[in-house]
Amino acid sequence: MLNAMNGINHYDAIVIGAGPAGLTAGIYLSRTKLKTLIVNEGTIGGQLVLTHEIANYPGVENISGYQLAMIMKGQAIRFGCDVKSNVSILNLELDGEIKRLTLSDGNTYTSYSIILTPGGRSRTLGVPGEDTFKGRGISYCATCDGDFFTGKEIVVVGGGNSALEEAVSLTQYASKVTIVHQFDQFQAFEHAVEEAGRNPKIQFIMESTLTAFYGNESIESVDIKDLKTGKTMNFKTDGVFIFIGYIPNTEFLKGKIALNKWGEIPVQPNMSTTIEGVYAAGDSTAKRFRQVTTAVGDGTVAALAASNYIHEYKVKQKQVTNA
């Protein structure tokens, strides 16, 4: 333990992931003068950088996701936070008082606390045209993009609670919403199914799936395959919202920390996990609403809780040394 504490690669806290949750945690930790390292597998900003325009981040009228991420990164660095991007984790030890992380840069880093913010990704259909029209008519977030489809005709894919609730919420904007679902029944609560069924703007195409997206600048039509007959029809639409599940980026945590059956990290209200000194924040945690604001809020709480934990840990260590 002494080696780790005296080693050059020791930090008070390490944050895994540099999306809005991780960058916020880094800002708060380094602002309280804790020596902090953020490590990120890909580009800094996480899902923020996939977002062309953020219109619902309070205090900022309109900003690109990339710009917002760069401001957050700059703030963290100005407060003294170290940030490493494009590195992968080779080894991670969360148990024990000193946490240990080995990265693809060949170095091992230790810390008293770790905050996990690896985020996640929407499940995709994986059919031709989906990558081309992401952000150009295809969306995975009604709260983020619904307004762009005011007065337009759209398709919603999925049959769970998210698909039905979001389809209903999208009728505030869209003139017509067609829900396409692969089974003959929905996997949603009865009240959600009834509410969608009562909405005059919503129509259903059951036992069918989307097999291709077409368009020019943005999406213009989709192919819908009837799974009973095998026949495919081309269907004109201005946009497609896909709600077929969410995948947290927690594969690397399997066997290291408790995950729920969806692979999300369960957390307490102070964002603590089942392991002392380990906190989690943002889209990788078990929660209903996944937004930049909620990620930023989680990151704040996790950082403040971790900061208390670290201060208490240091006081205890001093008492042991002085005894």
Ligand X SMILES: Cc1cc2nc3c(=O)[nH]c(=O)nc-3n(C[C@H](O)[C@H](O)[C@H](O)COP(=O)(O)OP(=O)(O)OC[C@H]3O[C@@H](n4cnc5c(N)ncnc54)[C@H](O)[C@@H]3O)c2cc1C
> Which tokens sit at 205?
């195409």
Among 50, 63, 206, 304, indicate the residue that binds ligand X (CB under 6 A).
50
- What are 235's strand-pairing partners? 222
Q: How far is the CB of 181 from ligand X (least distance, A)?
A: 22
Q: How far is the CB of 289 from ligand X (least distance, A)?
A: 9
Among 51, 110, 162, 208, binds ligand X (CB under 6 A): 51
Site string for ligand X, 114-153 (x = CB under 6 A): ---xxxx--------------x----xx--x---------
For ligand X, the closer CB: 45 or 159: 45
State how far the Cα of 219 lies from the Cα of 289, in Å rounded to an integer. 27
Give min distance, CB of 126 to ligand X, in A. Answer: 16
Give yes or no for residue 26 binding ligand X (CB under 6 A). Answer: no
Where are the extended beta strands (E) located within the chain? Answer: 10-16, 36-39, 82-84, 89-93, 99-103, 108-116, 120-122, 138-139, 153-157, 176-180, 202-205, 208-215, 219-226, 232-236, 239-242, 246-248, 278-280
How far apart, in whole angstroms, are the C-alpha atoms of residue 149 and residue 157?
16
Which of 13, 15, 17, 248: binder of ligand X (CB under 6 A)? Answer: 17
Q: CA-to-CA distance for 85 and 252, rounded, in angstroms?
A: 17
Q: Which of 187, 293, 308, 316 binds ligand X (CB under 6 A)?
A: 293
Q: Which is nearer to ligand X, 21 or 155 (CB)?
A: 21
- Per the DSSP assignment, residues forming a β-bridge with 114 are 14, 278
- Taking the C-alpha atoms of residue 130 and residue 133, their distance in angstroms, rounded to an integer, is 5
Binding residue for ligand X, selected from 11, 14, 28, 47, defined by CB under 6 A: 47
For ligand X, the closer CB: 137 or 186: 137
Dihedral pair phi/psi, residue 196, rounded to 5°: -65, -40
Tokens (6 digits) for 48: 């923020």
State whether the Cα torsion 259-263-266-267 is positive or negative.
positive
Cα separation, 19 vs 247, in Å, equals 16
Smallest distance from ligand X to CB 185, Å: 29
Residue 295 is a binding residue for ligand X (CB under 6 A): yes
- Tell me how far, at minimum, the Cβ of 320 lies from ligand X, in Å: 33
Question: Binding string to ligand X for residues 195 to 234, with x set by CB under 6 A, is what?
Answer: ----------------------------------------
CA–CA–CA angle 129, 130, 133 (5° rounding): 80
Encoded one letter per residue, x for contact with ligand X by CB under 6 A and - for no contact, window 62-101 reads ---------------------------x------------
Instruction: Please report, as ranges, the residues that interact with ligand X according to CB under 6 A.
Output: 16-22, 39-42, 46-48, 50-51, 54, 56, 89, 117-120, 135, 140-141, 144, 249, 252, 282-283, 290-293, 295
